[in-house]
Structure formats: C-alpha cells, structure tokens
Structure 1
Amino acid sequence: MPQATVAANVQPIDPETLGNICSTLGCTPQDVTEFSPIDEGLTNESFRFVAGGKPYVYRKPGAGTEKIISREGEAFAQGIAAELGLDRTFIYENPKQGWKISHFVEGCKPFDYHNDAHVSRAMEMARELHSCGVTSKWSFDIFKNTEGILELLNNDEKARYDDFDRIGARIASLEERVRATSAVPVLCHNDFYDPNFLVRGTDISLIDWEYAGMSDYASDLGTFICCSDYSYEEALEVLCQYFQREPTGEELFHCISYVAFAAWYWFVWALYKDQCGDPVGDWQDLWHRYASEYGSRAAQLVQEL
C-alpha cells in the first residue's frame, strides 16, 4: 500500500513485471530503479520503485486471492474512485491479471481512528461513494462471500476456535431479519478500514478497491468499526457522524448487525489466508472478538425493537 513503510532487502524483479511497468508508464527498463518491498498489506505483495525520477507502487495479487476477488470489478471501481476524487493515487490496473500501478505518496501518516478530522472525512467519503449513483455489474454479498470462503476452509481451521459454530449460528439467525430491512444496494468499498486511508496533511485518499461492488451501505460502516479499537459507545458516535444525526432503532440494529457480519467475514477470510500459508496476525483475533460481541449486541437490539 502506498502509505506503508519501505523495507530493506531489495530484490530484483522479474522481466514480466518490469515489462508491465514500462508499458504502463512509457519508460525503458533503464529508467526503473530503487526497488524496495513494502511491509504492509494483508492481501497482496507490493513494492516501491522509481521511474523517471518519480516514486510508484506496484501491487501483485496475493496467494489464493484469485478464488475470492474479481480483478475486473476492482479495476472498474478504481476508475470510479479516481473520477470521484476519492483515490488520487491510482494509475492503472490490469483487469485480468490483477497487477496495479499507483503513485507512491511521500510524507504520509497513519489514519487515526481517534482523530476527529480523519474520521469525519472518512464518513464524508463513505457518503459520497454511497450516493454517487454509479451502478456496477459486480456485487459484494457479504453472506454469499462468507459462505464461499467457508467452503474453502478445512475442519482443522474451524476447530481452532471453540465458539466457531456458535458465532456462525448467531450470524445466520440475524441474516434473515437484516436482509428484510436492507436498502437498495449502492457502490461500496467493502474494505473500508484504516490501512486503506492514505493520509497526507489534510488530504486523504481511499485506496485498494479489490472488494468493491454493489452492497449494503452498512458493509463499509461495519468493516470500519470491526477493524478499530472502538468501545461500543465510540462506535455509536461514528454512526452518528455517518448519518449526521442519531440513527433510528432499525438503522442502529442494521449497522450493528453489519459490524458482526463484517467481522465474521474477515475472521473467516483470515482463517482461509492462514490455511494458504499467509497468516494475517493479530487481525484474526480482533475480528473473532468483534463477531462475537457485536453479534450479541445485535441480538439484544432485536429484542428491544
């Protein structure tokens, strides 16, 4: 990702990758220098390089992603994000192979979930995206996608957590009611969390659109919250920022349910990545905790409604 720390241990790149860079940027192999791997990113492999004196990022799809990600859908959404001004780093993505070239933005700092300006802009970007009126032929159904990854998981991965089946059953029990109250799908990022916000001064770009597609608006809110360290009260404040008012009882239930759904999806995804030999570290336990806690909170809200 462009905001990541550049690592040492520079390795030569393969001829195909070098050819992709040269054909996209209109340069020669001699123009391409200073290759440095980037040490962030849960899904893919990326490296920084310089061409013609300017820094760029090259992204390669990670192991197993071809089974769960549509690169054509990502390329479409990246183009829309660039047009809307939500992602000013994007240059080109190959819609078949999934490699991508972006500007490397110098002088960035991490997105801060407790910085009011950062969070306010993130919610503004979400509203801009959700209200843009663009329709994509690609969709992101968090329920079907979770089921698809569950089918790829072996029993050993599932057995690592004693409450795996219990959380899954609660998620399933919430799904029917939430689907009945869902609004018309809108274009969503669906990977709407802090590493994908590129912060430089007062400017923020939303990057990495590989999960983008038509979805419930709450998919982005659920992901944003389940990847944070928020207390429940802080999560409610974020929802108020998105709506620019207090959410109704149904809206609150809907969004809290989606925190659980998003956490469950990313938890199952993390187990699959682990199975592929590409573990994501502490994120896995964070998502497990949020799937359990917010599933319980959503079930309580049902009773209150």
Structure 2
Amino acid sequence: MEMEDLVQKKLRSIFNDNNIIFDKSRFAGGLTNYNYIMNINGTEYVIRQPGAMTNLMINRKKEKFNEKIAAKLGINSECVYFDEVSGIKISLFIKNSKNIAKVDPCCHKNLKAVSALMKRIHSSGEQLANSFDWTIELDKYERIIQELNGDFFFDYTVLKNQLIDFMEKNIKNTISVPCHNDTVPENFLVGPNGKTYLVDWEYSGMNDPSWDVAAYILESKLNSKAIQYLLLDYYGKFPSLEEILKIKCYMAAQDLLWMVWAMVRHYSGDDFLDYCCFRYERFQKNVNAIRIWPEYSIADMIKNISSTIAF
C-alpha cells in the first residue's frame, strides 16, 4: 500500500469516519517527512506522512518514547496518535503558531527563547531512550547508500576521515544530556501567547548539548552578532576556545551527516541532489578551514561558496 493511502486508511480508522479524505492542501513543511494540517470534526491536526526510506533511518519506538519526555516537559505539541511501524503521526496543531524560521531566527527575542528552551531540555535530567552518535548515524546512512548502489563524492572518504581524526585529537570534554539533535528554526514554534515549542523529535537522543547550539546557528544562518548573543545567553559567558572549536566541528559534522542523509533520499528517488551538493560544498570548505586556521570564525563557516563538485 502506498504511504499516502495508508495515511488515509489510518485517519478513517482513528476518527471512525470512512468519508475522511487525506487532504494535502495545507502543507506544514518537512524534509524527513511531509506534514499537513487538516481540520477533522472542527479540530486542526498536523498529519505526518513519513518520507522515503525513513523506516531504515529512524527508530520510531525510541522516537515515541522521547516524544513523551518532551510532552512531559511541556515543550512539544500534543501527540494523539503514533504508529511505531509506519511512522505516521497525528498531533494537535498549535493554533496561530508560526515557526521561528518564518518569524525571524536572528532577532534577540527569538534567540533568547531558543536558548531558554534548549537549556531547559539539556538541564532536565531526563534520560532519553537512546544516544545520538553522529558517526554511528553516518555509518548507517552509508550502508543504505551502498545497498542502493549509490556513489559518494570523489573526496568523501578522505575529508570524512580528516574531520573524524581532527575531532578525536581536539574534542575531549563532552557530556551526555537529552538533546533534540535537529534544532532547525522550522522546528521551533511560537504560539499566540508567546510560548515556544520544539517539535519533531525523531533524531532526539542523549548527546553533547553543543550539538543543538551548533545546529541552530548553522541552520538559521545566524550573523556574527546573533551568534555572539546566542552563545552568551546559552552559556552564560563567552565559551572557551575549546567549546568554540567543538561547535565548529559539530557544524562541519552536521553538513556531512545531513548530506549523506540527503543522498539516501536522492538514491531512493526524491529530488535532493541540489541539497546534497549545497551541504557537501560547505563541508569541503569548512573541514579544511578548521584544521588549518584556528581563527576561522563560526560566522565564516555558515557562508557558502560556489563551485562545481562531482561524485
């Protein structure tokens, strides 16, 4: 059964109404999955249609457990249905909410809200169902690409190993706390009362908190002033040089990891090639820069370059 048909079947079963049609007219965004807002019996819901190959990339049972932790902390939208097998999820839509990417991910008000929410998660003392190790995730995605008979960029293995070796030698002090691990601005929602939520917990797991900080900086394309504000607010003081280097390494690792994730989607038939090239191009630039130039700034890492790269 096609995933779209399965979603409709689930909707009819859950709401006990065989006349429900899976309405995809109100797209709510998503890369890993596709989310749609539907009004069912007067209530608005977010319907998640899982993307291709996500059953191989995400452990839905662990995601469900972690979602419950986020709900207990009061920072997630309410989930009303979660299918651990298919990945189909139905959540209450937070009325009149907007994601921070559309509002302004760089303004001080939103940076402060993001920082506060991340600190609340990281200091919660909760134990998530799993650990998130980007190298393990990367290995998993690589195996899927090999099974799909896909190719990697010509210098992929060399640059990947250079980054891993550099991190092993220079990143010593890490801790393990509850992390979201996909802190893109689109996942932060601001409700009409000003309350901030963090949704989509499929990559969540125990990790170093600077991974979440690095992800928000990278995915929001923060300028230097916004970066400084976020770092000062989150850490309470300007981070040490070692912590700054850790953030830089995590930014490079995220471009590499999500590029390979996108390659899985590309080789499974989705249109992700431009996304692959954009992230790998930036990774190429940054993995060399952080190894050679200690003064290379976080703001410089966000900038992209135009070049031609090949598999």
1:271 is aligned to 2:263: yes
Distance in 1 between residues matched to 2:58 and 2:22, nearest whole Å:
30
Verify the 8 A CA contact 2:11 2:22 in the aligned structure 1: no
- Native 8 Å contact 1:68 1:149 kept in 2: yes
Paired position in structure 1 for 2:10 = 20
Instruction: Verify the 8 A CA contact 1:187 1:213 in the aligned structure 2.
Output: yes
Q: Structure 1 residue 285: deviation in Å?
A: 3.9
For 1:70, the aligned partner's letter is N
Alignment of 1:91 with 2:91, yes or no, is no
Are the aligned partners of 2:171 and 2:246 in contact in 1 as well (CA < 8 Å)? no
Q: Does 1:204 align with 2:192?
A: no
Give the conservation status (yes or no) of the 8 Å contact 2:8–2:22. Answer: no
2: CA distance between counterparts of 1:301 and 1:247? Answer: 18
Say yes or no: does 1:113 pair with 2:105: yes
Task: Tell me, yes or no, if structure 1 residue 241 matches structure 2 residue 233.
Answer: yes
Q: How many residues align?
A: 287
Cα distance change, pair 99–132 in 1 and its aligned pair in 2 (3 A): same
Match of 2:177 in 1: 186
Task: Confirm whether residue 35 of structure 1 aligns to residue 27 of structure 2.
Answer: no
1:287 aligns with 2:275: no
Change (3 A) 1:120 1:296: farther
Which of residues 135, 138, 149 in structure 2 aligns to 1:143?
A: 135
How big is the shift at 1:211?
Answer: 0.6
Corresponding position of 1:60? 49
Q: CA deviation at 1:175?
A: 2.8
Structure 2 Cα separation of the partners of residues 31 and 204 of structure 1: 35
Structure 2 residue identity aligned to 1:198: L
Counterpart of 2:36 (choices 41, 47, 53) is 47
CA RMSD of aligned residues (A): 2.8
Q: In the aligned structure 2, how far is the partner of 1:172 from the partner of 1:207? A: 30
Task: State the identity as a percent.
Answer: 26
Give, in whole Å, the separation in 2 of the partners of 1:178 and 1:216.
15
Q: Distance in 2 between matches of 1:292 and 1:237?
A: 27
Q: 1:227 aligns with which of 219, 222, 230?
A: 219
How far is the alpha carbon of 1:146 from its aligned partner?
A: 1.1
Report if the CA contact (8 A) 2:181-2:212 is conserved.
yes
- Aligned equivalent of 2:59: 70
Matched with 1:101 is 90
Which amino acid in the other structure matches residue 126 of structure 2? V
2:250 — aligned with what? 258
**In the superposition, relative to structure 1, how do residues 122 and 297 fare at CA in structure 2: closer, same or farther (>3 Å)?**
farther
Shift of 1:292: 3.3
Q: 1:44 to 1:283 in 2, by over 3 A?
A: same
Q: Deviations over 1:222-243 (max 9, x none)?
A: 2222223234564344322321
1:178–1:257 Cα contact (<8 Å) kept: no
Runs of at least 5 residues in structure 1 that lack an aligned partner in the other structure: 1-12
Shift of 1:68: 1.3
Q: Report the residue type matching 2:214 in the other structure.
A: G
1:9 aligns with none
Q: What code does the residue aligned with 2:10 have?
A: N
- Residue segments in structure 2 that go unaligned for 5+ positions in a row: 297-311
Report the AA paired with residue 125 of structure 2.
Answer: G
| 8 Å contact kept, 1:89–1:207 | no
CA contact (8 A) 2:98 2:190 kept: yes
Mapped to 2, the partners of 1:146 and 1:34 lie a distance apart of 34
TM-score, structure 2 normalization: 0.81
Q: In the alignment, residue 93 of structure 2 is paired with which amino acid?
A: F
Q: What SS is found at the alignment partner of 1:153?
A: helix
Q: Which amino acid aligns with 1:195?
A: E
Measure the CA separation in 2 of the matches of 1:53 and 1:301. 57
Matched residue of 2:98: which SS?
coil
